[in-house]
Amino acid sequence: MNTPHTLVHRVARRFLEPTQDVLVLGIGVALFGLMVRTLGRLFGELFAPVLDFRVVIGEVLFMLVMVEVVRLLIIYLEEHRVAVDFMMELGIVSTLREVVLRGVTELEWTQVAVLTAFLVGLGALLRFGNLRAVDRPAAQCHVPVGDVVPPEKS
């Protein structure tokens, strides 16, 4: 039974999903360019006469953040969903990067307390929040609307 409502959704999905894929692919290419540029700056900093430890660690952590973002984009292209656990890992790494760049000694005690609570909260959600798809039983895994899940064979 084809109602006009479902037909509109089917047509929109057929044209919008490939367009989103192209946009996400463009974002991925731009991120790779940014990563190559950052890697060049990192090697330049490593071979400079004076090594600024804070800048080198900041660049390395920035590369880790970019790797996580690219991994998030790859998961989106494969599964057409945003992986919440990867986003939480990204939040943890990027927060730690900012702390390293500013220096813990330059932060006020209230900022350190809030950052600690934020990181503990993200870590607890990541560990105990049952966000990873591999940990969930098949009945709880996300299935996009319109996809058919074949019945399990006994």
If we measure between CA atoms, which residue out of 55, 26, 131, 40 comes closest to residue 89?
131
What is the CA 84 to chain-centroid distance, rounded? 8
pTM, full prediction: 0.66
**Given a cut of 60, is residue 101 above it in pLDDT?**
yes
In single-letter form, the type of residue at position 122 comes to L
**Given a cut of 60, is residue 138 above it in pLDDT?**
no
Cα separation, 111 vs 129, whole angstroms: 25
Structural domain spans, the chain: 4-132
To which residue do tokens 């959600």 refer? 125
**Given a cut of 60, is residue 83 above it in pLDDT?**
yes
- Tens digits of residue pLDDT in 23-79: 999 999 999 999 999 999 998 888 888 888 888 888 888 888 898 899 889 988 888
